[in-house]
Structure 1
Amino acid sequence: MSRTAEQGLTPRELEVARLVRDGLTDRDIAVTLDIARRTAEWHVQQIFNKLGFNTRAQIAAWTARDELVGTAAHSTDTRRHNLPLQLTTFVGRAQELATVQRLLATRRLVVLVGVAGAGKTRLALEVARQTGDTYADGIWLVDLTPIRDGGLVPRAFASSLRLHDRPRQPIAQTLLEDLRGRRLLLVIDNCEHLIDDCARLIDAILRSCDGITVLATSREPLRVSGEAIWRVAPLALPSPAALTDVDQLARCGAVQLFVDRAQLVAPGFQLSARNAAAVGNLCSRLEGLPLAIELAAARASSMAPEQMLARLQDRFALLTAGSRSGPARHRTLHAALDWSHDLLSDPEQRLFRRLSVFAGSVSLEATEHVCSANDLEVAVIPGLLGNLVDKSVVIAAGEAGEPTRFRMLETMREYGWKHLEDSGEVERVSRRHGEFFVALAEEGWAKLRSAQQPIWHRRLADDLSNLRSAFRWSRGRDPEAALRLAWALNDFCIIHGIVREGDDWFEQALAGYTVRDELRAKALGEGGWIAWHCDDIGSSAARWRESFEIYRELRHVSGIGQALHQLGHLLWWQGDFATARKNYEEGLAMSRQAGDAFWIAGSLRSLGELDLWEGDPVRARVHLEESLAWNKRVGEPKWRSYTIEALALSEIELGDFAVARTHLEEALGIVRELNFALGLVGVLKTFVVLAAAQSQPVRALRLAGACDSLSESIALNPLGHWPMMQRWLEISRMELGPERAAACLAEGRAMTRESAIEYALAG
């Protein structure tokens, strides 16, 4: 039995005795152990009582002798570390383990940086454990969690290394002298709240002691020379396809952790076909954060995964079942985020909570507009945003050559939103968010009709989540803004295949804004197109007719030209070709009068397509070539692809297959660059006509099958002149016979999008 046990000291009293030996006052002990000062005083008095001492010097001398005896008595203990034994299994992260170990082999300072609850500490301890005998003088953990005073950082290092004070010598100097000539790994956990003091001491150690390697964890980099940063990401999440495959799901790191921890509280828990989707979705909703997953798994004894998933609308109320023996900041998800939030400066906290208004990722420009105010000037936002990235509160991402975008994990965003609500800023920040994205959509509407169309499609796609959020906000508070947003995104919704959603926006926005002005007329015209693509011809007709009536009331020449063109499409669909042609011609005249190049090109293109429909490819080519010339002035690629495709059809009808193929290859390049699903179907259908016209029935029918499959996948109603395709397809069917024709169609339906494109180009 040790002398400590004989004297009846508790582990906490022994810990206090060692701090007394190290020269700490009762106040210092309270700060170091994160306890009240009166509690520290009580522990010291208990030591006096149990050991029969009257002075702190007696406690110090006794503690030194006790440890000396203990060292001799346990001289056979060959452990050269103070790493805690782990009571749970380390799950996943094999690649991260190997990477960090490789970094430690070549760098003397490696810092694991990551968001709260990402698993930095556990990864660092596992790396240290697996490092084994690499370091002759061992591996020593310095846990800075309980330290609140930066001046105590050197003493925390010394205490972990079991160093004693030397008379008239600062503890930092004692530490450096002891470490010189030694070869060991220091694992420094939780540097973020003492970042400056940690950085200075670690820098001094590395410069003075060439045998020391440091592995640190922090929510932000130390900014020490030679520092290698490894960002600890959340655990791997299951793909949507894996949610129904138990074996595939079981190999996912996040799911493995959930199952392992769930079995601690519910030994009979198993991943099964019945609960697989719920477990996978739960881990995905928790964004692979180990702390959040462990807190959820702790509920497995009383809740099924499906029940947990249903309650995640308030994840902070659900995730509160942490271990009593763990750090206080890890007992609830909210506490973990409180720890990070409290380390932010006041301006950083203001920016953080305002960033929660954004959905998905966001540009710097949007952040500056939405988050700035009298208490947060635009000029300081880039620097503050960089600080939030460094402190693992915000994630910076971006492809090479593209502007950086910023996002928060949904867990952080929800936490920030609660702070935004508490600040009373929700209405003001949401209004600025709505204003910015309505303006962005309107700028995008103009740019989508120019040579900048591909760039702006990508930009709007990046901000789709924010555009949706802006619509939801404006719909209930600013009907005019909601309608402006709906019409401005019409072309974007068509190209990106979200026409049902876009049509819903129009329905809601038009119902909320009933003023018969230019805005409503313009929106009705755009809304007619999106309804047309939803195969809702009735809504198209109603919108286009009302648009025409309003423009006529306003005597808006350009608007009347647009509306006549739109009504021409309706008449064409109804089979009234003569009146449709009259509308196109009158619309063309009005557009010429207004000098509207976009609609001049549009009316000429529609006249050319109608010529093809009525069997006049020569006249069609004249109209289409003039349309293309006007389109080049505008520089808008989407409608140019339609015009070139129609020109290809006219060349096929005229027997010039080589020119037709050249046109189709150009049109295909445009729709691929735009990622325009509807346009791709149209171009491939024209390749069907080309193959059939060249007596390639197998190729024609396979491509037709691929077109059918692609059309179904995007649920769109392609505009165009498909009776011509059906006429050529019927010839191909007759050449092959019904059985072979059906087989070719089936083979085409099995093609992927890319394989269909390759097949078309190879013909």
Structure 2
Amino acid sequence: MAMAPRTAPARQNLPLESDSFIGRERDLSDLLRLLEADRVVTLCGVGGIGKTRLALRVAAHATGSFADGVWLAEMAGLATAHEVAARVAAAVGVTEEAGRPLEDTLRDALRARRVLLLLDGCGPVAGPVARLGASLVESCPDVSLLITSEDPVRIPGEAIWRVPPLALPGPDGEADVRDSEAVRLFLERARDARPDLSATPGTVAAAAAVCRAVGGIPLAVELTAAWLRRLSPEEVAAQVTACLRAQAGAAPPPRRGRPRPPASREAVLRALLDHVHGLLGEQERVLLRRLSVFGDWDLESAERVCPGGPVDEGAVLDLVSSLVDRGLIALTAELQERVRYRLPGPVRRYAADRLEASGERDRVLLRHRDHMLAAVEDLGSAAVAGRLMPWAERFGRWRRVSIEYDNVRAALRWTARRGDTATGLRFCAALRAYWLTGYHFTEGAQWSGCFLNGPEGDGPPSGEPVPPGSGAPAPPVPGPDPKGEGGARARALLCRAELEWARGRTGTSRRLAEEGLARCRADEDAATVAMGLNLLALLDLRTGDRAAAGARLSEALALARSSGDLWNEAMAMSGQGALAALRGDPAAADTRYSAALMLLRGMDHRWGVGVVLIGQATAAERQGDLTAADRCYRESLDIQRDIGAAPDLARCLFGVGRVARALGSAAQAYDYLSEGLVLSQSTGQRAGVAVGLASIARVAAGDGDVAEACRLAGAGAALRERSSPDRPSRSWARTAEELGVDAAALAAWWHEGRRMDPGAAAALALRVAETGRLPRPRTPRREAVPERRDLTARELEVARLVSRGLGNRDIAVKLFIAPATVARHVANINRKLGFHSRRQIAAWVGGPGPTR
């Protein structure tokens, strides 16, 4: 979807309007006032009445009232509560957290934001939208909802706005006719169809007749205006009148003595579509009904799915262009240099009914399913292809699946209803890379569970509506080749295991991975065996079983090398690098990481390079090799900015910030840590916010802001406990030792911070960082330390190094002691001298202290 430019202070993702907005000036002003008074406004009305167009215009005018943005989330093609939450989260930039319902993450992320959410086309998912909307309104005081739906969605406090037809011309004369909204729209679209058309009195009169006949329904006005490509205005008016008269004549007669009621708007649209359909050629009719299987599409997809019978592949472009000219197809955007098309809602429902009546629905849906399966398997192979492939091409396949994902999801649902387990498992195995790198852990686990449990299992994720014209579920397909399904099942098991690992469910992940590995061994599938071994080795490392991890990694490496599987070879060597680092062998770790990077760079696999660099940087940082850590974090940072994986980007920002602090550059540390904190907060990553708070606390403590540092450390510890309950809690005494401050002074501030709201703690951290960037006068450096009999020789040595601006890790390297021992010495110095910060120690020695 083409995006409007973002301008400060308003931010939005609203599509650029493809043509002019006609009329509804009073509706627009009234709705803007209603939005000021009510936090939930729903625009209701039949399909084609103009709900979406009006809502988009209202949202565009409201951007100045919502400091944190106006965001469109289209509900078309969704079914479950999780899918609804995921679509809203994607619109506002929130990422799924491991081990937490996405709705909870979304609610927390929006709690302090002033935003307008435009939820378009909510009818098929009114229940999930109502539940999510009520939760957001209750928990987020500055979130407002603008909803479009044929009927109210029943959110408490919902203000209902029934969208009326466009204003019709009155009987008073030509000037009055020209002021009619419906006539203005007809004439505007008429000029699109016939640029040479002039608004003569006869043309205006014909336009008025058409608009009165169709009741001012915008879609009906636009459909009839398109007839001007082939007819005169007077002929259009005559045909519209005739077809609606015929429709009225087909209706049951009224009771004796009563006038015939006016046709409903749905009936008017149906009659017009029947008339237009009757004017189409056979190829156009066939293509139109087959296109109803798509949510939206590009020309390539139409050429793969829709040919057959009277429709040749080479004719699809001309037929699509003809249907566009008739107003039956709309252009929506240009993505990956491909134009995207869609059928307006009422047209798609009409075409789907025609597809059902034709008896070819299942055949077309099967071709649609196969086309989507080819796209995801193309991505699946490229994601782990152990050969040189330009990164733009590899990433382009990921983007392709992202663009087509609504169609992919529809294909998954149809496959599940057919009971086609083997194909479903192929989908899951191929979507592994998309689900993992896109942080779609829950949806991926749901679909994998659906197909792994088979036709008698869970079934598709519950709640999906039956697509237009889908009819009754298809009977199960005949059973596939057992060995073929077995291989797909093994790969899908490992996919599910990885997703559960990403969700923090290590026990479930291990069970699934072991089952998948056993199946892979039985099928003698070397690449999948290596993938399973690498995954189980990661689980072993997480649980501390280094011996088992080492054995699995060695086997995976040997298998990958024997089969020429460069991807799993690189992953195995990266795992060995992590294992060597845990064993305290930095040279071996660096060798293994570097070998993995050499393979991945040879493949031009930037995502893999970025992930391995983070591992290498983390290992180097723990070993005190700050130069190597900085280099690796910064290179991965550039990659993550291009890819857009927010959690990994935040990890790199925090890593660069920590290294900058250790190297004595507080200002640079504050810059990177603040960016990481803001990114984690905006994307809803509590664990990232906790890291940011703790990291800024350490810089602030070294900078002399002891009270604020302790508050931030307490807030970070509390948030870390909530986001990662399986990790050990951090005590205030341990934090005092790390920060180098007196434990007794820390306690009250620490507990005060633990009680802080995470949003308030983040705001405090950003203020501390901003203040810390300001320049401060420095005292001249002196090497001599004032005599203090109560300090030990080691403590005097530590004090001198603190005065030079060195952090605990740097001091530990120089003195060949542990960083924790340095922290204890710093705490003792503070206690003995009555100080509360490293800056006071530096001032006492006479050095500059922590530098920026």
Q: Per the shorter chain, which TM-score range?
A: 0.5 to 0.7
Percent of residue pairs identical: 23
Distance 1:623 1:375 in 2: 60
- The equivalent of 1:683 in structure 2 is 652
Q: Does 1:374 align with 2:325?
A: no
Cα deviation 1:94-116 (Å, max 9, x = unaligned): 9xxxxxxxxxxxxxxxxxxxx96
2:490 aligned to which of 516, 521, 540: 521
Q: Which amino acid aligns with 1:455?
A: G
1:220 aligned to which of 200, 220, 226: 226
Distance 2:540 2:313 in 1: 53
Q: CA deviation at 1:490?
A: 1.2
1:469 aligned to which of 390, 395, 410: 410
- The equivalent of 1:365 in structure 2 is 300
- The equivalent of 1:634 in structure 2 is 603
- TM-score, normalization by structure 1: 0.55
Give the paired residue count: 496
Q: Secondary structure at the match of 1:220?
A: helix
Cα deviation 1:443-490 (Å, max 9, x = unaligned): 111223452232122111111111111111112322111110011111
Q: CA deviation at 1:727?
A: 9.9
Gap runs ≥5 in structure 2? 1-22, 30-46, 54-163, 188-198, 212-220, 234-258, 456-481, 717-757, 775-851
For 1:632-671, what aligned pairs fall within 5 Å after superposition? 632-653=601-622, 657=626, 660-671=629-640
Q: Secondary structure at the match of 1:633?
A: helix
Distance 2:306 2:633 in 1: 47
Distance 1:128 1:343, change over 3 A: farther
Distance 1:131 1:633, change over 3 A: farther
Cα deviation 1:597-650 (Å, max 9, x = unaligned): 001111111222233344443322211111111012222222211112223334
- The equivalent of 2:438 in structure 1 is 496
Distance 1:702 1:379, change over 3 A: closer
Q: CA deviation at 1:567?
A: 1.3
Q: Does 1:418 align with 2:345?
A: no
Distance 1:575 1:405, change over 3 A: same
Q: CA deviation at 1:548?
A: 1.7
Distance 2:318 2:374 in 1: 25
Distance 1:126 1:618 in 2: 83
Q: Which amino acid aligns with 1:553?
A: A
Q: Which amino acid aligns with 1:506?
A: S
- The equivalent of 1:352 in structure 2 is 288
Cα deviation 1:319-356 (Å, max 9, x = unaligned): xxxx9786887754433443443343332221111111
2:630, 2:655 within 8 Å by CA — same for their partners in 1?
Answer: no
1:702, 1:747 within 8 Å by CA — same for their partners in 2?
Answer: no
Distance 1:747 1:116 in 2: 43
- The equivalent of 1:601 in structure 2 is 570
CA RMSD, Structure 1 to Structure 2 (Å):
5.1
Distance 1:127 1:668 in 2: 64
1:330, 1:336 within 8 Å by CA — same for their partners in 2?
Answer: no
Structure possessing the higher radius of gyration over alpha carbons: 1
- The equivalent of 1:431 in structure 2 is 366
1:597, 1:633 within 8 Å by CA — same for their partners in 2?
Answer: no
Distance 1:420 1:728 in 2: 60
For 1:263-278, what aligned pairs fall within 5 Å after superposition? none
2:701, 2:709 within 8 Å by CA — same for their partners in 1?
Answer: no
Q: CA deviation at 1:742?
A: 3.3
1:496, 1:677 within 8 Å by CA — same for their partners in 2?
Answer: no
Q: Secondary structure at the match of 1:506?
A: helix
2:447 aligned to which of 498, 505, 521: 505
Q: Which amino acid aligns with 2:428?
A: A
- The equivalent of 1:589 in structure 2 is 558
Q: Which amino acid aligns with 1:357?
A: V
2:651, 2:688 within 8 Å by CA — same for their partners in 1?
Answer: no
Cα deviation 1:411-437 (Å, max 9, x = unaligned): 322222122112222211111111111
Cα deviation 1:228-259 (Å, max 9, x = unaligned): xxxxxxxxxxxxxxxxxxxxxxxxxxxxxxxx
Q: CA deviation at 1:385?
A: 1.0
Q: Which amino acid aligns with 2:537?
A: G
Cα deviation 1:563-589 (Å, max 9, x = unaligned): 221211111111112221221122112
Distance 1:542 1:328 in 2: 58
- The equivalent of 1:395 in structure 2 is 330
Q: Does 1:537 align with 2:478?
A: no
Distance 2:541 2:623 in 1: 24
- The equivalent of 2:381 in structure 1 is 446
Q: CA deviation at 1:440?
A: 1.3
Q: Secondary structure at the match of 1:398?
A: strand
Q: Does 1:457 align with 2:398?
A: yes
Cα deviation 1:33-82 (Å, max 9, x = unaligned): xxxxxxxxxxxxxxxxxxxxxxxxxxxxxxxxxxxxxxxxxxxxxxxxxx
Distance 1:706 1:625 in 2: 32
- Residues 551-560 or 512-521, more deviating: 512-521
Distance 1:350 1:563 in 2: 47
Q: CA deviation at 1:562?
A: 2.3
- The equivalent of 2:236 in structure 1 is none
Q: CA deviation at 1:90?
A: 6.9
For 1:195-344, what aligned pairs fall within 5 Å after superposition? 218-220=224-226, 222=228, 332-344=268-280
- The equivalent of 1:386 in structure 2 is 321
Distance 2:427 2:532 in 1: 20
Cα deviation 1:508-532 (Å, max 9, x = unaligned): 1112288673222222222211111
- TM-score, normalization by structure 2: 0.50
1:190, 1:218 within 8 Å by CA — same for their partners in 2?
Answer: no
- The equivalent of 1:547 in structure 2 is 516
Q: Which amino acid aligns with 2:358?
A: S
1:495, 1:675 within 8 Å by CA — same for their partners in 2?
Answer: no
1:480 aligned to which of 379, 400, 422: 422
1:405 aligned to which of 319, 334, 340: 340
Q: Secondary structure at the match of 2:512?
A: helix
2:577, 2:589 within 8 Å by CA — same for their partners in 1?
Answer: yes
- The equivalent of 1:694 in structure 2 is 663
Distance 2:275 2:574 in 1: 62
Q: Secondary structure at the match of 1:404?
A: strand
Q: Secondary structure at the match of 2:436?
A: helix
1:587, 1:603 within 8 Å by CA — same for their partners in 2?
Answer: yes
Q: Which amino acid aligns with 2:354?
A: H
Distance 1:699 1:566 in 2: 35
2:497, 2:509 within 8 Å by CA — same for their partners in 1?
Answer: yes
Q: Which amino acid aligns with 2:396?
A: I
Distance 2:514 2:759 in 1: 43
2:712, 2:761 within 8 Å by CA — same for their partners in 1?
Answer: no
1:483, 1:523 within 8 Å by CA — same for their partners in 2?
Answer: yes
